[in-house]
Amino acid sequence: MSENATTDHPQSIPALLARNAARWGGYPAYREKEFGIWQSWTWAETAAEVRAIALGFMSLGIERGDHVAIIGRNRPALYWSMVAAEMCGAVPVPLYQDAVAEEMAYVLDHCGARFVVCGDQEQVDKVLEVQDRLPGIHHIAYLDKRGMRKYDHSAMNALADISAEGLAGHHRFEEELNRRTAELTYDHTCVMLYTSGTTGKPKGVVLSNRNIIETSKNSAEFDRLNHNDDILAYLPMAWVGDFIFSVGQAFWTGFTVNCPENAATMMTDLREIGPSYFFAPPRVFEGQLTNVMIRMEDAGRIKKRMFDRYMALARKVGPAILDGKPVSGMDRLRYWLGNVLVYGPLKNTLGYSRIRVGYTAGEAIGPEIFDFYRSLGINLKQLYGQTEASVFITQQPDGEVRSDTVGVPSPGVEVKIAESGEVFYRSPGTFVEYYKNAESTASTKDAEGWVATGDAGFFEEGTGHLRIIDRAKDVGKMADGSLFAPKYVENKLKFFPNILEAVVFGADRSMCTAFINIDLTAVGNWAERNNIAYASYQELAGHPKVYEMIQSHVEEVNRSVAADPMLSGCQIHRFLILHKELDADDGELTRTRKVRRNIIAEKFADLIDALYVGKDEIYTETEVTYEDGRKGKIKATLEIRDAAVVAPEQRMAAE
């Protein structure tokens, strides 16, 4: 490990900030679109802003080790607040801004937050709602003053006013602030992030300066990131990836972090910035591809033919050109022409004109989607990571990119596969501990520093690339003893644009069954083109034609699953289309949109029963939570269909 890592570079995020202000003082550090214009702050200005906020915190009496909760969308001032908190010796804790008040209460209580920095009135209201249970909260700060005038300001202030107060009193606070900043070491806590947790309560992952800086340094060198790069910060601030990209790597390399105007303008802002380094979960790439395809369906005949023709060429030679493999001169010329006519304008529309390095992770990405972007010449790669690893465990080097692997171990990371098939890693980014949870820390990280990922996988022979099959605890056996890997099948289903989400059941059962969630955008558009009228999601989901379409998808997946002798038992015998979208507000997905299998199995137990007892339809009532926290019920009668399966010949022969 890197105990002997050199000490010739700054040992904390505030120290990096001071270095950047000196080295790249005039270069842009943060941008935010506001009032229709990109506002920009240089590294020198950023350092001044952060110092002002830190002085403000000092004026409020912040202590070493205090926790400062940060809640809001990606905004420069919130990133600065995190760094300012560390300067004061406190620990920043970013929270998911779309969490409901109850979820926030748990985290605020668990970390014992003394200060809360909120983006706007909405977040302040949520904190106030649960504040009577959280006597530890000393002061609330907010960025956006709108609607806040009538609030009781005895323990609340605008962040701008707090920094102004700090600046006014800088003679009183400066000495103590400088002392605290100077005593920060590589082993001080840099940030604490709560894992969304597919099971149980969220856990607070403590990451030190060493974790963040070493990981940022290694990963930045891996992709040769530098201070001229641009990223778009639009993913939740509470997610470890955003902290690594928008703070860790940004402070290490000095590149520019661009914050969108708001969530709804993200696509426009992406196009305007044209980031050179970009991360997005697969669903973003899927969504964009679906949009492109829908718009091409409506395009004129000439445009459509040109698009189809050149996309076919791109699919053939694009990835090879990107990987630097030999391609004939004629194809190169045609690809160049295609770039002028189709790929270039398309990339510009998507905001990907300048991308040098793009990553996706979190879920499996469909091979067609992955190849589509790569064939356009976008260097999209995959990585595999975790909060506990400060993101990076494995990633794909340039030129060795495939959709079905997650790459080779990142620099400085050791990976091993246990007997059970579970993946373990050890790295300088390995988390310090789970906050106030020694038991979980011990069960996750052993004495030698190896961490269990909870995922089952294997190294591919020949290439040395890691392949992930499924969550280790989800991989099970069916009643007849054959292997059951639900995620493997679900991913195959989700590769169809019409299927948004799928949940496969079958552990200890005689056969596999599935819940399907349709994608309203894709299926809605299909319905429009085929003159199918519908009034609601529920009605569209239950339409016989939709059922037919989904059935054909399921049967295609069955054929593909049957081709793999080890997993042929996972073919789907029966399925139904759910009457509601699985939603994090109802607890069915995590905030990062991962399926919570147990909760779904519990909540829809009646539907699962119906799948296995052989009913053709089932009446059900489901409780739903609306965005404002109110609850309601939806009722539906769902149809259940049988899907054709391929006879498991190989297995019969083997027995």
Partner 1 sequence: MNVANPEGYTTPDGRRIGGVLMEMKNITLRFGGVNAITNISFDIRDGEIRAIIGPNGAGKSSMLNVISGFYVPQEGEVWFKGYKRGPMKPYQVARLGIARTFQNIALFDGMSVLDNIMTGRLTMMKSGLLGQAIWWGGAQREETENREKVEKIIDFLEIQNIRKTPVGRLPYGLKKRVELARALAAEPKLLLLDEPMAGMNVEEKEDMSRFILDVNDEFGTTIALIEHDMGVVMDLSDRVVVMDYGKKIGDGTPDEVRNNQDVIDAYLGVSHD
Task: Print the binding letters for residues 458-497 with partner 1: x by CB under 8 A, - otherwise.
Answer: ----------------------------------------
Residue 144 or 433: which CB sits closer to partner 1? Answer: 144
Count of residues in contact with partner 1, rule CB under 8 A? 13
- How far is 389 from 240, CA to CA, in rounded Å? 9
CB atoms closer than 10 angstroms to residue 517: 23
Find the shortest distance in angstroms from Cβ 632 to partner 1: 13
Helices (H), 24-158: 43-59, 76-87, 101-111, 121-130
Sign, Cα dihedral of 366, 370, 373, 376 = negative
Distance of CA 571 to CAs 190, 285, 469, 551, Å? Answer: 46, 27, 16, 13
Is 264 a binder of partner 1 (CB under 8 A)? yes
Listed ranges 5-13, 97-105, 158-166, 259-267: which one lies at the site for partner 1 (CB under 8 A): 259-267
Site string for partner 1, 202-241 (x = CB under 8 A): ----------------------------------------
- Render 367-388 in DSSP notation, one character per residue: HHHHHHHHHTT--EEEEEEEGG
72/412 with CB nearer partner 1: 72
- β 572-577/617-625 pair status: unpaired
User: Which range in 33-41, 91-99, 124-132, 548-556 contacts partner 1 by CB under 8 A?
Assistant: 33-41
Contact 619, 542 (CB under 8 A): no
Phi, psi at residue 143, to the nearest 5°?
-90, -50
- CB of residue 603 vs partner 1: minimum separation in angstroms? 26
Binding region for partner 1 (CB under 8 A) out of 263-271, 308-316, 430-438, 512-520: 263-271
Does position 147 interact with partner 1 (CB under 8 A)? The reply is yes
Q: Which CB, 2 or 349, lies closer to partner 1? A: 349
The closest of 213, 206, 254, 177 to 7, measured between CA atoms, is: 213
Pick the closer one to partner 1 by CB: 265 or 440. Answer: 265
For the CB of residue 35, give the shortest distance to partner 1 in the complex, in Å: 4
Describe the strand order of the beta sheet including 189-194 as a list of residue ranges.
Answer: 189-194, 204-208, 433-434
Binding region for partner 1 (CB under 8 A) out of 35-43, 55-63, 311-319, 574-582: 35-43
3-state secondary structure string across 128-176: HHHHHHCCCCCEEEECCCCCCCCCCHHHEEEHHHHHHHHHHCHHHHHHH
Query: CB 467 → partner 1: shortest distance, Å?
Result: 40
State the Cα–Cα distance between residues 346 and 478, nearest whole angstrom: 46
Shortest distance in whole angstroms from residue 76 CB to partner 1:
16
**Quick one: tokens of 149?**
């005038």
Least spacing, CB of residue 103 vs partner 1, in Å: 22
CB nearer partner 1, residue 271 or residue 315: 271
Question: Is residue 265 within the footprint of partner 1 (CB under 8 A)?
Answer: yes
Query: Strands 512-518, 189-194: parallel, antiparallel or unpaired by DSSP?
Result: unpaired
Helix (H) or strand (E) holding 65: none
* 3 state DSSP class of 116: strand
Instruction: Candidates 28-36, 100-108, 183-191, 438-446: pick the segment binding partner 1 (CB under 8 A).
Output: 28-36
Q: Which is nearer to partner 1, 34 or 183 (CB)?
A: 34
Task: Between 152 and 439, name the residue whose CB sits nearer to partner 1.
Answer: 152
The residue from 7, 37, 200, 448 that contacts partner 1 (CB under 8 A) is: 37
For partner 1, give the closer residue by CB, 152 or 461.
152
Which range touches partner 1 (CB under 8 A), out of 70-78, 145-153, 223-231, 538-546?
145-153
* Pick 66 or 120: Cβ nearer partner 1: 120
From 3, 8, 26, 35, residue interacting with partner 1 (rule: CB under 8 A): 35
- Least CB distance to partner 1 at residue 475 (A): 42
Under rule CB under 8 A, residue 535 binds partner 1:
no
Name the pairing type of β-strands 256-259 and 28-34.
Answer: parallel
How far is Cα 416 from Cα 400, in angstroms, rounded to an integer? Answer: 21
Least Cβ distance, residue 34 to partner 1 (angstroms)? 7
Please report how close the Cβ of residue 263 comes to partner 1 at its closest, in angstroms: 9
Position 508 contacts partner 1 (CB under 8 A):
no
Pick the piece of the chain touching partner 1 (CB under 8 A) from 260-268, 282-290, 408-416, 589-597.
260-268
Q: How far apart are the first and last CA of the chain?
A: 48
Out of 40, 262, 625, 650, name the contact with partner 1 by CB under 8 A.
262
Q: Of the ranges 93-101, 257-265, 270-278, 411-419, which one interacts with partner 1 (CB under 8 A)? A: 257-265
Yes or no: say if 243 and 251 are a contact pair by the CB < 8 Å rule.
no
Cα–Cα distance measured from residue 57 to residue 80, given in angstroms and rounded to the nearest whole number:
12
CB of 62 to partner 1, least distance (A): 30
Interface with partner 1 in residues 368-427 (CB under 8 A): none
CB-based contacts of 20, cutoff 8 Å, min separation 6: 29, 43, 46, 47, 251, 254
* Residue 149 contacts partner 1 per CB under 8 A: yes
Distance CA 483, CA 539 (A): 36
CB 430 within 8 A of CB 200: no
Query: What are 147's two structure tokens?
Result: 């609607």
Residues near partner 1 (CB under 8 A) = 34-37, 146-147, 149-150, 261-262, 264-265, 268
